[in-house]
Amino acid sequence: MAVTIDGSASVTINSGAVLGITSGTAVASTSGTSIDFTSIPSWVKRITVMLNGVSTNGTSNIQVQLGDSGGIETTSYSSVVSRIGSTGASNTTSTAGFLINNAITAAGTFFGVVQITLFDSATNTWSCFGTSNSADAANSGCLFNGSKATSATLDRVRITTANGTDTFDAGSINILYE
Amino acid sequence: MTHRTVVNCETGQITQVEYTAEEQAAYDAAVAAQASAEAQTESPVVEVTNG
């Protein structure tokens, strides 16, 4: 039997997985302390978080956290972000989330891409890497990576700040998953 | 009230979820603690010399 894929619709396979990349819904990051993308399908093996001109009202670093049916998990991350700019380099680590920025300014807006990939489905272990800019006077760039095992199958991601209290005030965020 | 934004990937629906009273209390306490820490950092240093 011949199978024709004409590109007019997504294609699913027996497990329910959609072949190709699925886009989430872009959301304005102009208020609130966090942005959650929920109901991510269980078959997903790679998630790309994209930040476009994002800003907060404070100087706390931006971070991405993973979650499952039990909620967002805030411990046991292995995360490091390296900031490289004209004023030198600095590293910051965290166990509370994947840091994606370092030493930002409240006035700065930044752009970044975060890729989260399933390392081992048996242990729900995810790897993270990506780049962002700090949009500060030193025009710094940030490289980051990390690892985290969720306690159950991942179904949500959260973008928030390390202190949890700074508020988003500009930009937009979206995800892709596949 | 403080809120978070939630995007449901299944439906595409975007909602703003207000903090519960418990979350709001924790948020207010964290903000107060940060303000207190910043005030201590910004306090002028008084140098005392003997003689």
What are the DSSP calls for A50-117, one per residue?
A: EEEEEEESS-PPEEEEEEETTEE--S--EEEEEEEETTEEEEEEESSSEE---S--TT--EEEEEEEE
Q: Is B38 on the interface with A (CB under 8 A)?
A: no
Question: Tokens in use for B50?
Answer: 């003997």
CB atoms inside a 10 Å sphere around CB A173: 22
Largest Cα–Cα distance of chain B, in whole Å?
Answer: 75
Which residues, numbered 1 to 60 in chain A, qualify as contacts with chain B under a Cβ-Cβ cut-off of 8 Å? 22, 24-25, 27, 29, 31-41
* Residues of chain B contacting A154 with CB distance shorter than 8 Å: none
pLDDT category at A89 given cuts 50, 70, 90 is: confident
Q: Is the pLDDT of residue A172 over 80?
A: yes
CA distance B51 to chain A (A): 42
The whole-number pLDDT of residue A16 equals 72
The whole-number pLDDT of residue A14 equals 67
Q: Phi and psi for B32 in degrees, rounded to 5?
A: -65, -40
pLDDT category at A116 given cuts 50, 70, 90 is: very high
The whole-number pLDDT of residue A31 equals 96
Question: What would the pLDDT profile of B4-48 be if each residue is shown by its tens digit?
Answer: 999 999 999 999 999 999 999 999 999 999 888 888 876 666 666
Contacts of A9 (CB under 8 A, 6+ apart): none
What percentage of residues in chain A have a pLDDT greater than 70? Answer: 90
More confident residue, A104 or A20: A20
Largest Cα–Cα distance of chain A, in whole Å?
Answer: 63
**Range from A11-15, A24-28, A88-92, A138-142 carrying the lowest mean pLDDT:** A11-15
- Using CA coordinates, name the residue in chain A closest to B5: A35
- The Cα A89–Cα B45 span in angstroms is 30
ipTM: 0.88
pLDDT category at A85 given cuts 50, 70, 90 is: confident
Give the mean model confidence (pLDDT) for residues A38-55: 96
Q: Is the pLDDT of residue A52 over 70?
A: yes
The whole-number pLDDT of residue A1 equals 61
More confident residue, A125 or A133: A125
Rg (CA), chain B: 21
Q: Phi and psi for A5 in degrees, rounded to 5?
A: -110, 110
Give the mean model confidence (pLDDT) for residues A62-87: 94
- Measured over the CA atoms of residue A127, residue A45, residue B6 and residue A30, the dihedral's sign is positive
pTM of this structure: 0.88
Q: Is A82 on the interface with B (CB under 8 A)?
A: no
* Residues of chain B contacting A37 with CB distance shorter than 8 Å: 7, 9
CA distance B19 to chain A (A): 10
The whole-number pLDDT of residue A140 equals 81
pLDDT category at A178 given cuts 50, 70, 90 is: very high
For B7, which of A33, A37, A41 is closest by C-beta distance? A37
